[in-house]
Amino acid sequence: MGTIAQLFESGEQKANLGIFKNLVMLARVDGKVDDSELALLSRKARRLSLTAEQITEIIKHPEEYPMVPPVNKEERFERYIQFIELTLVDGVVDEAEEKLVAKYGIALGFDDEDARGVADIIFNMAKAGSDRHEILKELM
């Protein structure tokens, strides 16, 4: 159902909450959120200007926060890069995380083949040490 505050959030706030919710879901896919994932989530939350209360609520009840789709191609790539960065942060990418990344790629508007192809590029470039801006430049 949500809170009264959720009724008065701007579109950007809702999008930020949705982005964070998806990152939380990805971090939890293996059944736990380890310290490195939690550290990355905290950095992302600060960048998204989320309050401590919002962070706690999303971690406890992520299902109450819908995904707000990005409005342009660059935002789609940016979100996909963020998802993949989170899978790489603990050094282990398991099958469940790979499936969830592909699912989010489709939710972001990529077809199945493109979602996998873009994910492969992001994974390879991130593993090679490329930063988000370099990856985004390659994808655009």
Tokens 């992520």 belong to 62
Amino acid occupying residue 39: A
Task: Give the CATH class of 9-139.
Answer: mainly alpha
Residues 132, 117: Cα–Cα separation, whole Å: 17
pLDDT tens digits, one per residue of 75-104: 889 888 888 887 887 777 878 778 878 888
Residues 75, 24: Cα–Cα separation, whole Å: 19
User: Where are the alpha helices (H) located in the chain, listed in sequence order?
Assistant: 4-7, 11-28, 35-47, 52-60, 73-88, 95-107, 112-127, 132-139
Residues 108-116: contacts with CB under 8 Å, at least 24 apart? 108/69, 108/70, 108/76, 108/79, 108/80, 109/69, 109/70, 109/76, 110/76, 110/80
The pLDDT assigned to 134 comes to 94
The pLDDT assigned to 121 comes to 94
The pLDDT assigned to 130 comes to 93
State residue 70 phi and psi, 5-degree precision: -65, 155
Judge if pTM exceeds 0.75: no
Q: Which ranges of the chain have pLDDT less than 70?
A: 1-11, 68
How many residues are there in the chain? 140
